[in-house]
Amino acid sequence: MLACAVMIDPWPIYKGILAEHGVDIHAIEPLAGDVSSRRYARIWLTDDTSAVLAIYPTEILDAQRRFLTTTSWLADIGVRVPAVRAYSKGWMVVEDLGPSTLAEHAMRTATDWSLLAPYYRDALRQIDRFETLPHERVARLNPPLDEALLRRELEITWKTFFVPRQLTGDATTQDRLRASFDDLCRTLGERSPVVCHRDLTVRNLVPLPSHQVGILDHQDLRLGPPLYDLASLLNDTLFAPPSEIADDLPVAHEDFARVAAQRTLKAVGTYARSGRHANLIEPTFTRAIDFLLRVPETTDVAARLETRWRQALC
């Protein structure tokens, strides 16, 4: 007879582990994860407060190390990140900033921009603070979001989205499209880098009192193209009208269109590969098309493929 695999709920095990580290809990509520292999739970402490327990499998222990590092760095410069309450190899307990992300909060407010805009403005202020970190320190933490990495991200989108959906056109057009993506990444890689969160979306922002936001998932902090975080914030998950947030955002800047084109294409590949947030593929690729049509490196081939692309989204 074949032995049947039994799925063991790991969460009760942590009640004893946390108690050994001075964290006494009386309830554990598993939470939905992200696209990584981390697992999360909200834990209820014996003093009736809550915290979040994050579990890091062995293969991503370095992400835990980097999270601890960036938590310290960002808190020191006034960026609101969850405080770490306890940790050991493979797990940590962090401050519970609130029950919902800004993305979930938007669903409850029917995406009322007058209610959401103040949170976006606080996120913009915190983006500015990232740049006060020493570049050489950030460069040692994570590889830069340079030409090579930007290209690798688009290669994932090519393999998981463009090719399976036959969106590359004939052989000549396909070669031109590939070359245009390479040119786009080369141009971005030539820009003087700034400190980037790397995934600054409303799924990684938590609304706090006084219209502030807490910032999650900051362990991938790295040097990258200027305007990358702004492009991510405005073009991923929610698609905020810039005019609702501020009067002076550089969204008409050609480099904003470049980085937004790359970022939205990267996000489409992430959604297609993981299966998570599949509902975001259509609006995000629609944004990508619009930016590709504005960018000198891609405008000609995007115009040739625009009809095919938009029909594929119908």
Could you tell me which of 27, 198, 199, 196 has the C-alpha nearest to residue 96?
Answer: 27
- pLDDT tens track for 62-89: 999 999 999 999 999 999 999 999 999 9
Residue 195 confidence (pLDDT) above 70? yes
- Identify the band that residue 292 occupies on the pLDDT scale cut at 50, 70 and 90: very high
- pLDDT tens track for 178-192: 999 999 999 999 999
- pLDDT tens track for 241-262: 999 999 999 999 999 999 999 9
pTM: 0.92
Query: What pLDDT is recorded for position 160?
Result: 96
Structure-token match 């073009």, residue found: 235
Give the pLDDT mean for 211-238: 96
Query: What pLDDT is recorded for position 314?
Result: 78
